[in-house]
Structure 1
Amino acid sequence: MSSGNRSVAFLHHLRWLAAVAVAVSHIRQNLIAGNEQEAHHGILTAVVFSVSDFGGAAVMVFFVLSGFLVGGKAMDLFQSSSVAREWPHFLIDRFSRTFVVLWPALVLAGGAVLFLRVIAPDAPFMTSAHWGPALYRPINGDISVQSWLGAAALVNGLASPMLQINGPLWSLAFEWFYYMAALALILGIRGVSSTGAVAIMVYAVILLGLGLIFNSDMIVWTLVWIMGVASRFVFDRGVLRGSWLKIGSLAVLVIVLVKNHIDHGVSNLLIGLATAFVIANRDWASWKMGASWGEKLAGFSYSFYLTHFPITVAILGLLYRCGITAQRLPLNGVSLAIMLLTLASAVAAARVFALVTEDRTRVVRNFLLRRFKLDTPSPGALSSDHQGYAVRSE
């Protein structure tokens, strides 16, 4: 979303920080032995295990951001006087932003599996279900055609098993349901009854049914997404303003996250509520600190989110081939250096990956708009990226 002609810098920073939190969590879990709930001693262990313990909470932040921004676009569509004409734009925007990156990421993940089967076929993470909390099933199990097709259609975890080589895809399947459910609800309430609209409504009902049967978390965490929609409603009306309220809401979010780190007893709903309270403050529209580099980092955060896991596991295979990771490493200076180099490699690879995928979304979107004879947005128009956040059309 934007304020005037400017995107909200704070949301850029929140997005890339959340992506890094997820990646750091997975990299640490895959490389370094230990559990966040164990008692660790020493400054190094305390810092590393604390910093790498916010991956799960970061996904809730993503859901709230998505509700705030994609949900905000849905609210705009609902209030439009020409829903019947404009809803395909919403669908094409969501489709192009999601699948232009997803499908190449699945090709990358498939390549990682083949690479690992060549260089490290007997590695414990290839054959065992007990490598660590992020690799909790053997990668050699990723041979089901159903799993790959399900991931490509974003019904993984619902109508097909999850792929171990790219575990973070479960959250994207949830997001896709939120998009389709919001669109279907708008079409139903506004009485749009074209063939395409009815197909979307039936599709959303099918996804809802699959969630109810196979993964109820998708339904429960819909509330987190709705919190983001509500925060956008509040933001647009300028209900929450003031520096003290902004600082106070940030303090509440930090307290909630720290509490969750200490005892993992905080519900995801509370994390979502605290995040929504923070971003609902209208004063963020005028916050410009680090706007330029924040936008650049956020610009490939979706690519980073979808590629860091297979890249990390491929590096794990190389380390195994070199005789380094027959098991997860103890935390020390060497393993920390490996962790940081792995993170840097994943960031660099994601930036390159984004050059040929995420940065090309506009081309695909405009092709689809022309293909279906819809109006093509002007070059200066604002459009949302995958997590819903306003950027200039790329």
Structure 2
Amino acid sequence: MALADKHHCDTLDLIRALAAGAVCISHLRNLMFVDYRSSAAMGLAGKAFYFVSNYGHTAVIVFFLLSGYFVGGSVLRQVQAGTWTWQRYLTERMSRLWIVLIPALLLTMFWDRLGIALGGGSFYLGTEGTFDQQINVASHLGGATLACNLVFLQTLACGTYGSNGPLWSLANEFWYYLWFPACFVLLRQRRGFAAFAAAALALATMIAFPSLLSGFGLWLLGVILVVLERRFAARSVRTGLPWFTLASGAAFLAALVCSRLFLWSNDWAVGVPCFIFLRCILWENVRLRPALLSRIAIRFSAFSYSLYLTHFSFILFVAAVGFGHRIQFDARGVLVLMSMLVACYVYAYTVYLLFEQNTKRAQRSIQKFRFVRATPDSVTPHSGSRGSIT
């Protein structure tokens, strides 16, 4: 870690990249390898792998906090600067979501239909016994389900499309993106029919979708990070190690370990220590060094959204067609794990180059239309949405 000598917090990029990797590894383990209780003659290294490779859901909680910090923070800045418009905000958010979601849905259709046609068997019927895939995939490949996922109603009015179970969190993100500005703009401006209508819609959907409220609370913790950052200035000079960051990081790791040992199902038990850890990182201005580590963190963070949306159906296809059954985590299993991890990252990076990398270009093209002209935003540290899933 290094003293802050740059505005962008690459430490948050590292956390985001690690969270995306945790999701991918979790699904690799659950789809390709037998359950822990079915493993044969497993050594200490195997036991360690099974222990640390099941943090996929926890990683999404981290994404929620980062999303609140970046996306919610951009709302706070724009409203305060007087540049806020729903047109601009929705253009940015929807283009950011759809530019990867639409290709990901089509790729899910491709891998699932090909896997079913090639005799994927129990993996696609949901009878292989893996926790992450327990549905008949063919019944989730219809046009209605596709449309439902496009408008972010998966898990609320329909299932996730095909085998792509990770899509569940995208519905959460979308509604959080709407709820927060709808409520905040009303509280800040307190005038205008549009503000009251948006707040009423937010309240109605909160009542209609109560399952999203706990995650929204965690998302709001990310917004609180922005508020605290404004009220309490970050350290400009630091001598020695960032002790608060190290201590809070140790507490966060302890919470992660305890969540596995005691099977905690409460997301807040991990979310609150993560919030404290992120707050300490921002307060102590923790940055990465050497420069190579910083560049790697930024690069892998850049395509984490593509990785998140594309890996599952690809892994399922390889497991079902390439192997036909789940395998033991032995020496061969280690080789399979490493090969598949590399393949998933190369695959996701290709999707990133084709689609996600062009997000800004797509937004500029949309903003050329007269009805969505953008007002320049003030430049502030950590601007953008690099830390969220999207």
Query: Is TM-score (shorter-chain normalized) higher than 0.5?
Result: yes
Report the secondary structure of 2:368's partner residue: helix
Listed as ranges, the matches of 1:85-234 within 5 Å are: 86-121=85-120, 123-189=121-187, 190-191=189-190, 193=192, 200-201=198-199, 203-212=201-210, 216=211, 218-234=212-228
Listed as ranges, the matches of 1:1-394 within 5 Å are: 6-35=7-36, 41-83=42-84, 86-121=85-120, 123-189=121-187, 190-191=189-190, 193=192, 200-201=198-199, 203-212=201-210, 216=211, 218-238=212-232, 243-265=242-264, 267-281=266-280, 282-283=282-283, 285-289=285-289, 290-319=293-322, 324-325=323-324, 327-371=325-369, 372-375=371-374, 377=376, 384-385=384-385, 387-388=387-388
Q: Contact 1:249 / 1:274 at 8 angstroms: preserved in 2?
A: yes
Q: Which amino acid aligns with 1:306?
A: L
Question: Displacement of 1:373 after TM fit?
Answer: 4.1
Report the secondary structure of 2:163's partner residue: helix
C-alpha distance in 1 between matches for 2:303 and 2:9: 17
C-alpha distance in 2 between matches for 1:219 and 1:275: 19
- Cα distance, 1:283–1:115 mapped onto 2, change above 3 Å: same
C-alpha distance in 1 between matches for 2:18 and 2:28: 15
Question: Displacement of 1:340 after TM fit?
Answer: 1.9
Question: Displacement of 1:25 after TM fit?
Answer: 0.3
C-alpha distance in 1 between matches for 2:186 and 2:359: 29
Q: Contact 1:227 / 1:276 at 8 angstroms: preserved in 2?
A: yes
Report the secondary structure of 1:146's partner residue: helix
C-alpha distance in 1 between matches for 2:71 and 2:317: 33
C-alpha distance in 1 between matches for 2:337 and 2:200: 45
Q: Contact 2:10 / 2:298 at 8 angstroms: preserved in 1?
A: yes
Question: Displacement of 1:107 after TM fit?
Answer: 0.8
- Cα distance, 1:308–1:88 mapped onto 2, change above 3 Å: same
Q: Deviations over 1:221-249 (max 9, x none)?
A: 21111111112222333367672111111
C-alpha distance in 2 between matches for 1:185 and 1:38: 50
Q: Which runs of 5+ in 1 are unaligned?
A: none
Q: Which amino acid aligns with 2:46?
A: T
Report the secondary structure of 2:157's partner residue: coil
Q: Which amino acid aligns with 1:23?
A: C
- Cα distance, 1:22–1:388 mapped onto 2, change above 3 Å: closer
Report the secondary structure of 1:53's partner residue: coil
Identity of aligned residues (%): 23
C-alpha distance in 2 between matches for 1:40 and 1:192: 67
Question: Displacement of 1:299 after TM fit?
Answer: 0.5
Aligned length: 375
Q: Which runs of 5+ in 2 are unaligned?
A: none
C-alpha distance in 2 between matches for 1:103 and 1:179: 19
Q: Contact 1:36 / 1:53 at 8 angstroms: preserved in 2?
A: no
Question: Displacement of 1:193 after TM fit?
Answer: 2.9
C-alpha distance in 2 between matches for 1:284 and 1:367: 39
C-alpha distance in 1 between matches for 2:48 and 2:59: 18
Give the root-mean-square deviation of aligned CA atoms: 2.8
Q: Contact 2:183 / 2:199 at 8 angstroms: preserved in 1?
A: yes
- Cα distance, 1:232–1:119 mapped onto 2, change above 3 Å: same
Question: Displacement of 1:188 after TM fit?
Answer: 2.1
Normalising by structure 2, report the TM-score: 0.87
Report the secondary structure of 1:285's partner residue: coil
